[in-house]
Structure formats: structure tokens, C-alpha cells
Structure 1
């Protein structure tokens, strides 16, 4: 059920073409319809009949899912001011866009989804050639599922030379394919091979880092490693994100397709959320596995709460986030002690941060101040990132970078892209990291990363 009639679409497009010709520049239009409830995974799968640029986001804490198909516009930035540059591009688009949205629900209208690399100064591009340093996409078609309701946003960039009926016909054809396309069975991939990338070299890098920390070169550094897997056939991304959503219910589920490759994951770590100027951030650092019994689970959790190394690592994150949030917010509230945050395979130390975002600031201002947190880079921030750049055994690309969305009402949410994989047709690279401090044991840190790889391995051929 679409509430916007074909005649209305024709009229909107006709007016946009006239305006584009008058001002001799493209005109972005955005039309929001409420539709019958639409399954987001089937919508994602259907979208490949329209475009090989698809985007997926599912909240960890509420019934809220975004699925984008195709591109109306992309926002790129490649320098150290990338967050501000993307914000500037977004402001310009929002100022000139014509939006038909009588519902006003968050995540409808013009919405940008995408992410940023961990380190814009990383010199190596492989294997991330398909993913620019910064890429936020306003999709051509956006499904927003919220509290059991579905909305379809159609975004079109109109050029002066466009023809009205041709665009109307194209929209009708695309809507038919993504909303009514014949369903197919979604199957998880069958893994044929799994190879750890230089595990002994990685352990040596952890030992070298502990030595450098003892020399006071830095206080903490997060080091990541890679696992490469192969499959019998190309991966069905909709099947993977559906399985992640079913098994990792306390995590943000995300997938970003670029040039036919996918960056996908289930991350428990929110970076920041803004809704009606209310800001929420998360301190999530310190990790142990879940227990096999309730008693063992409780024992492991209490051990984590009382472990000096993990509590110190957690406090690093708390203090850094406090400083970043206080720089652009008021009414900042942070509990004095962390609690446990349980996932299917792991449990973490968790401290929520709440505040009111000051006028004139946006979620990208917050992300710029937060990224990378000590949980993803280390302490001090600048020194740890430089250390990773020169000593880590892989190119992180978008791994551990900020990924998320924002809309034209200044709502948005970003998470940290951990527990993730870069899928390239019939192969994938999986990533996991851990915080290294003075007394870190390389073998113990290696085992921690092995546990962190399990959520992605479970949907990419089994553990």
C-alpha cells in the first residue's frame, strides 16, 4: 500500500524539473509514504535487482531498522577534517532539498547512512579499495521500520535535462522490484577454509607493545588481527544479517555494500545517539566470555567487575568520553560504577553516558570528538593511533571506525564497527582486537580475540 499516488509523484517531479531548469542546478526531492509492513531482509535481498549499493542498520535497543537501496547522493571526505566536511556537504543538501514527509518519523526523509575508516592517514588501501575513507549515502529508496510500522522514502536527484515520464516509470519499476519481487530462500554460506593471518607475528606484536608501554611510550594500545575465510559460493548478505539479528539481539546489526563488496557486523558498542537533542553515549570496555552454566557465568562476571586490568581499561574510556561529551553538551550524567552487559558469547563492563546536546552541535561533532575511544585506539589517543599505524599487522579500513546514520531532523546514531567482516564475493576477512596494557599476556589476548571472532564465524559457516 503506497499512499502517494502516481499523479502526485508526476506533479512533484514536474515541479522539480522546472526548478532545476530555472536555477540550472540539480534538485533533490524526497517523498515519504507509509506502506504495509515490509520484511527488511527480503527488502535488502530484493534490492540487488535495482542496485549493487545497499545499506542496512538495525538498532540494538529498539524496534528500528533502516534499509537503503541505490544512491540519490553520496557524501565523501578524505582529509583530517572529514567529519566537518561531510557535515558541510550535508547542510548544503538539506538546505536545498524539497521534502514531502507528513509523518515526521525519525529515519524518514533524507537520511544518510555509511561510515568512516578508522584512520584517514592509513597508507595501505588493500583490501578496502571498494570503501572510501568516508562515505555517507542518501539512498534512492529507504525502508524505515519502526515499532511495527513501515515507511518508504523515495529520494531522486532531478537534473535540468531529465524527462518527467521517464523518471516516473523508473520509480514505478524500482518500487515493484523491491516491494513485490518474488521471494527466494536465504541461505547462509558454507565455509570451505579458514586461515589465521600470522598469529605468531601478532602475539609478538602484543609482547612488543607491552615493552613499549613499560618504556612509557604510551599507556594502552588496541591491536587487531585478521582471520580469512573462503566459501563455496558468493555470500547472500541478506541471509547473514538476518542470522546476526536473530543471534546477536543486544548488538547493532549493520551491512554496507560498495561496488559489490560488503562490510557487515554485529557490534555491541554504540558511539553516540542523538534524538531530539538528547545525547546518549556508551562506555563499553573490559571483556570475558559467557559461562556454560549460570553459576559459571556469574563467577566470570563478578571476576570482570573486580579485575584491576579491565576496570582500569574501562575507566580510560569513561574519562575520555566524559571529556568529549562535556565539550558540546550540558546536563551530563555518568554513573560512578560500571555494570555487566551480557551478549551471547561475551560479557562486557558497561557505563552509559547521558547529556543534552548544546545548540549548534550535531552528532558528527560528537563523533569527531569521540573517535577513536581508548577502547578502539588506546591512550593517549594520538600516540596510540600512530602506534597502530606503524605496528599493527593489518589495514583496518572501516573496521573499528564509526558507522551509522543521521537524518534531516538532526537525529542519528553511530556505533563502532567491531565484530565485523569484509566480504568479497566468496571470501571474507574477519577482524577482532583487544586492549594491550603493561601486564598483558599475548596468549591470553589471543584467546580473547578468538572469542570476539565467534559472532561473525557463527553466521559465516559455523564456529
Structure 2
């Protein structure tokens, strides 16, 4: 796109970059920013030709981010451990004092086995260009990595990226999808066997909870715009986290997840126990009755308490204080409702984000208890690679970080849509009821894909 067609704000950024050529950088990582006009961020992101493409929308609806390109890309495959990842990030973070610089990305559900192509077991990006919305204020940012690139050539790369920015176009209109086929891994018969193995008394005594999941693959013969699906999903469940990562045109991972892994503001930490599920009612009276039944249901209450207790126990060595709700409340989504307990901690000095990831991820709400034996069961018997599904996605910076658990998610590939859902299996779980819970959790995304 020629410079004369760029918005005035993009031109202003280019002017700032040209001026920066005359001044040696003060730090190895530099961020330029300016306030800008309101922008439909998903539409803008879908219109771009540069990769990666990253989207983040907080559950509180205050913050939204669309980012493209990369001036730093951390990608780790099988074999990397959290200490090495923490060391690499801490070294990178030390290159700037700017608290607004963020690294967006995620970690896989199981970092001991191979993950999806392009995504890695862990991958974090310092984007080249970001649009951020905070409340009603929009800002435009460009990041520069002088630690690994020549001063002038890095600025030239940034200018080229800005010149390649495309204007936002309307998203492609939704159209009903007719799948060529559907397959489930595991299928129902295998699912039934797995549930029966988990609830078997001898196994269940040592491993009281395993979260089993299912991959539903839909074969399609026409391209589906994942960002259009993301926008529709956002409209259906506005009180969820919404995020997406597209590292190439071949694969896009999107999620509309209700679950926060953690939010850190300096030494203050917020997390939650979100486990226990029922459907929504067709009327207000039925909805309230279903919520009350969920609150009184022993199986779901035990499941939520297990998650709460585990999180408190894992945070206690890292914290000066940990407090958790004694009583569960109801967290409502479009098609389902969950039991929810809020948890807050005051972290000890020096505790870093990767210690938090190591302590909290994967939570008992997506893995099970005890973690080691539950993960072994999943790894050996579930029958497919979860990848970033049920992983942790979000961002780091010096002042704060926020991660969501990547449930309610979809991976788009050429000719295929991969959908994921899981259910906590404890003593008393019944295969048919848990299978129906998977269907309930896919109801929103299925309605978007098949009723458009």
C-alpha cells in the first residue's frame, strides 16, 4: 500500500521512525506509540496480509488487541522446560524498561509431547504492529528489536510493515456450512470405556479426577474465515475471553473461553476454580432452577472443590496470602452455566510468571488430580494430540500478565475444522451424561457454523 494512501496516524509513525534513524536507540527493545481513531479490530486483522496475526480480548471487555508481524519470536518444541523458558523470557524482558511492551502467545496443554505444527509447545511473539483498545481509547504501536538487528535495517523493516498495512474491510458475510463428514476422537464406544476406567474404584481411589476430552473433526470443501467465526462467537458469549493465533495462512486457532488461568498485577494475583456444568434454561424460571440444581449437585460441587483446593495448595508456597471463596456462585454463558469460585493471592517478591504457569497449568479443570497420574492417563489413552487446546494463552509484560485456559476452542486447517470439548470424570460420572456435556459445550460454535 503506497504511503500517500495510509492513514494520517500511520504516516505519523513512519515520520517518527525516520527521525529515530538520526538518534541511536536508548534501549535494545523500543516501542513507539500514538493515540489513534477507533477501529473494528477483528475486521482490520482479517484484512491484513502479514503474519503472525494475533487477537486478544479480555473477559472484562475493557481491553482488545489486534497485532501483526513479529520483531521477536520465541518458539520452543518438545524438550524445553519451564526454567529454560523463564530464563529466555527474563533475558528478553531485561532489554527494555517500558512496561507497555507485551509478548503474546501460549503454551500447549502437555509440554512433554509434540504439539501442532507452527504452534510449538510454547510460542510467544513480540508483534511488529499493534492496535490496542482500552475502554474507548485506541492506540497504535510499533515495536523494534535493536538487540538482534542493525539500527537502520530494523527501522526500514518497521516502515515496510507499516506501508504494507491494509485498510479494514467488512468481514465476509456468514454462510451456512454443510460438512462433508464428521469424526470424533475418541468415538462414543471408546469414550465409554475410558470413563469406566476412570470411575473404577481402585483407579479412582488414587486418581479421583481425570478430565477427558474429545476432538470433533468436520470436513469441509470451502474455505471458512476463522475471524468471521471469531466475531460471531464473540457476539454470542461477550463475557468470555476471546483470542486467536494465526502463524500462517494454513492454521488458525481461536477460542472463546470463560476461564481465567491467572491475572497478575505486580504482586497481586487473581485466579479461579471454574468446574461443574449444566445447561441454560429455556425460560428465566427454568434457568434459575437449573442453576440451583447445579449448586446443590454433589458430583459437580465435589469437582469444583477439588479444583479450588488444588489451586490454593499450589499457590501457597509462592504467596504471602491466598484467599478463596468458600461458596460457589454461578457463571452463565450462552448455552451453559458453570460453578465458579474466585481466588486471590499476594505473591512473594521475585515470583515470576513462569513459576505461576508451572504451578497452575494445567489446572484440575482441564487435566485432573493428582496432576501427574491424570496427565499420564490422558497422554496414553485419549487418542489424539490436544496441542494448544486446554493450554494457556495470553500475554506477559513487566507490570502485568494475563492468561486464559484455552477451552471452547477451534483449530482451522485447509478442508477441516477441529473442535474440542472436555468433561471432568469423577466417581459417579456416567458416560452418556458426560458425552452429552461435550455436545452442550460445542453447542455455541456448532450453531455458528451450521445456522449461519
- Determine if the TM-score, normalized by the shorter chain, exceeds 0.5: yes
1:55-94 correspondence to structure 2 within 5 Å: 55-78=54-77, 82-94=81-93
> In structure 2, the residue corresponding to 1:2 is in which secondary structure?
helix
Residue matched to 1:120? 111
> In structure 2, the residue corresponding to 1:337 is in which secondary structure?
coil
Residue matched to 2:263? 273
Residue matched to 2:3? none
Q: 1:291 aligns with which of 281, 298, 316?
A: 281
Instruction: Check whether the contact 1:190–1:232 (CA below 8 A) recurs between aligned residues.
Output: no
Instruction: Check whether the contact 1:118–1:402 (CA below 8 A) recurs between aligned residues.
Output: yes
Q: 1:205 aligns with which of 170, 184, 194?
A: 194
Aligned residues: 440
Tell me if 1:8 matches 2:13. Answer: no
Tell me if 1:192 matches 2:178. Answer: yes
Using the alignment, how far apart are the partners of 1:312 and 1:63 within structure 2? 33
Using the alignment, how far apart are the partners of 1:424 and 1:199 within structure 2? 24
Using the alignment, how far apart are the partners of 1:213 and 1:176 within structure 2? 64
With the length of structure 2 as denominator, give the TM-score of the two structures: 0.90
Instruction: Check whether the contact 1:221–1:379 (CA below 8 A) recurs between aligned residues.
Output: yes
> In structure 1, the residue corresponding to 2:123 is in which secondary structure?
strand
Q: 1:316 aligns with which of 306, 312, 315?
A: 306
> In structure 1, the residue corresponding to 2:396 is in which secondary structure?
strand
1:23-422 correspondence to structure 2 within 5 Å: 27-47=28-48, 49=49, 51-78=50-77, 82-97=81-96, 108=100, 110-122=101-113, 125=115, 128-158=116-146, 162=150, 164=152, 168=155, 170-178=157-165, 181=167, 183-188=169-174, 190-193=176-179, 194-197=181-184, 198-211=187-200, 214=203, 216-260=205-249, 261-407=251-397, 409-422=398-411
Tell me if 1:443 matches 2:432. Answer: yes
Deviation per CA, 1:262-311, whole angstroms, max 9, x where unpaired? 11111101010012432100110000000111111111111110111100
- Structure 1: gaps of 5 or more residues: 21-26
Using the alignment, how far apart are the partners of 2:263 and 2:21 within structure 1? 34
Residue matched to 1:24? none
Deviation per CA, 1:372-417, whole angstroms, max 9, x where unpaired? 111111111111011111111221111111111112x331111111
> In structure 2, the residue corresponding to 1:89 is in which secondary structure?
helix
Instruction: Check whether the contact 1:207–1:442 (CA below 8 A) recurs between aligned residues.
Output: yes
Q: CA RMSD in A?
A: 2.4
Deviation per CA, 1:81-131, whole angstroms, max 9, x where unpaired? 6333222222212222475xxxx6xxx3x21111111112235x5xx2222
The verdict on how the C-alpha distance between 1:215 and 1:36 changes in structure 2, with shifts beyond 3 A counting, is: closer
Deviates further, 66-75 or 185-194: 185-194
Shift of 1:214: 4.9
> In structure 2, the residue corresponding to 1:76 is in which secondary structure?
strand
State the 4+ residue runs in structure 1 displaced beyond 6 angstroms: none
The verdict on how the C-alpha distance between 1:81 and 1:327 changes in structure 2, with shifts beyond 3 A counting, is: farther
Deviates further, 111-120 or 153-162: 153-162
